[in-house]
Structures are given as structure tokens and as C-alpha cells.
Structure 1
């Protein structure tokens, strides 16, 4: 099943993303690397919100163009709570899509103008997952610039071995 495949990938990435979010210091929530950038807190909150927000949008056959809002969280705990809610939403909603629903055309429509049309599975793959990964990579750079140890993800970071690497064995 298509939804189960996406859900399995999502579940693999949930603990990885949580490790990234947990590393943000509370005293750096309003820091940003450039005047046109989101603050670290806004980016973390967006990273936390994306999966649940996207899967909710996928429940409809069409939506208007999204109005992007980037709230400024007051604490890392607020980000983690938003993340937990987002994860719960994905776990609740995604399994409800059968293959017919996943292959059905999903649209963004502004009035009479179609902005985008694609199979629902493509929307979920591109925005719920790929967009999420892109922002996690962006957040990784924020952590590095803040001199916060960067967690491993698919492979090691300069600060952490990946799960695939074994510790050296004593001779």
C-alpha cells in the first residue's frame, strides 16, 4: 500500500527529526543567520508542523493556495509539543488513504485557476517528506552556525556517528 510505504519512511525519520529539534537551545529561539531568514524558533516550529499540516491538507481533494505563517515559539517545549501533535496527526490520517485515494488527483485551486495538480501520493512525497527533509537540512545549518552539535541523520555528522557506524573495538 502506498500510504503504508510513506508511513514507514515517516516513522524512520521521526526520531531523527526530534533529535534535531531537541538540540535547539531555548535562548536561541529568536536567532537568525540573516535578516531575511526565519528565526531558529520559527524554522524549528515549521519543521515540527509540516508533516501534520500537509497530511491534513491531503485529506481534501483541493485546497486554496496556502497562507504560510511562521509563528515564533516561546520555548523549545512548544516546538516539541507541536511536533508530537504533528506526528500523531500523520499516524491517524495517513493510514486512512487507500491506493485509489493516493493515486487520485489532488489540487491547489485559486478561484477558477488551477495552480497545481498531482496525484495525492506525489503531494505527500514532495511536501510532507521531501519538503520536511529540506527544512531539516536547513535547520542543520542553523545548529552548526550556533555551534550546537549536529545529530547524525542518514549518515554521520561531524559531531556524531551514525547508527550504521560501529564504535572501534578494543584490540
Structure 2
């Protein structure tokens, strides 16, 4: 089995599904959140759109320190901005994954906030965490869309909306 080829196929599939969800984000509801502790819709959507680039980050760096590189939300104002961000982010991640080698997978990658270690991972584990974060936050977006009465697309098969339920 060619693991990189399999990962690229999975990555593309998640990209296609994610694109369907982001295309439905209502820009007039960007400041909405279902709860006071929840991210605003705009923040959640832009975070989802940037996550594929974290695959690039996994293979081109040895880690990320939020103390020296604080998180900055990507600027988006429209669905076109979201989709452009997603496509650029995906292309960076896909390109780096395609160029990677299995030998790179076991190298260490550290996520930290100063001295506080948030994750001591391999580059492979960081790449997998990026995939998982895309899926996790996309599911969260699906809940937001449902609460806003927006029919949601299927992810791994048809949704209840697509089946007419």
C-alpha cells in the first residue's frame, strides 16, 4: 500500500466535502454563535478553511509556539473568500504531503504555548490531527447550519436533507 497516495485520496475527499459545507455559510450570520462559549460562525468557518494548510505546517516546521506566533484569524468577508482560503490552504497541504516521504513521518513536531507543551507529536500524528480537526470542526459547522435551518449536505453519504426527511 502506498500510504502517501492513500492519504492524498482521503485529503481530497475531505476537501470536497468541506467545500460543500463552507459554500453554505450565510455571511449575514457571520456574528452568530449558538452559545456564549461557542465560536462565532465567521471564526469557525475561517478556521475550517485554513486547517488543510496545517498539513503543510506539519512537514515544513518542527512545531508551533503560540507564545511567539499567536493565532491570528484569517480575514474573510464572503463565501468566495472562504472558498478561496480553503482552496489555497488545501493546495499548500496537498502539495507538501505529495512531496513528503514516509521517513518524515516519525520526526518530532511540538505544539506549545511557551513552556507549556500542548502536543508532543510526530509529523504523521500532526498531519492526522489536521485531518481530524477539519472533520471535527466541519461537524460543528453542520450543527450551526442546522440551527440556522440551512439544509446540510452529506459527508459520507446522503444527509437527512438530501433524502427528504
- TM-score, structure 2 normalization: 0.85
| Residue aligning to 2:17 | 16
CA pair 46-113 structure 1, distance change in 2 beyond 3 A: closer
1:122 aligned to 2:125?
yes
| Residue aligning to 2:99 | 96
CA pair 115-135 structure 1, distance change in 2 beyond 3 A: closer
CA pair 89-115 structure 1, distance change in 2 beyond 3 A: same
- TM-score, structure 1 normalization: 0.83
SS at match of 1:117: strand
- Residues matched between the structures, number: 160
Bigger CA drift: 22-31 or 111-120? 111-120
Unmatched segments (≥5 aa) in structure 2: none
In structure 2, how many angstroms separate the alpha carbons of the residues matched to 1:72 and 1:92?
23
| Residue aligning to 2:4 | 3
| Residue aligning to 1:52 | 53
Match of 1:76 among 55, 76, 79: 79
SS at match of 1:30: coil
How far apart are residue 62 of structure 1 and its match? 2.9
CA pair 69-34 structure 1, distance change in 2 beyond 3 A: farther
Unmatched segments (≥5 aa) in structure 1: 162-171
| Residue aligning to 1:159 | 161
Report if the CA contact (8 A) 1:41-1:72 is conserved.
no
Report if the CA contact (8 A) 2:55-2:94 is conserved.
no
Bigger CA drift: 88-97 or 69-78? 69-78
Report if the CA contact (8 A) 1:63-1:109 is conserved.
yes
SS at match of 2:52: helix
Q: CA RMSD in A?
A: 2.1
Greater Rg, structure 1 or structure 2? 1
Report if the CA contact (8 A) 1:61-1:105 is conserved.
yes
In structure 2, how many angstroms separate the alpha carbons of the residues matched to 1:145 and 1:4?
37
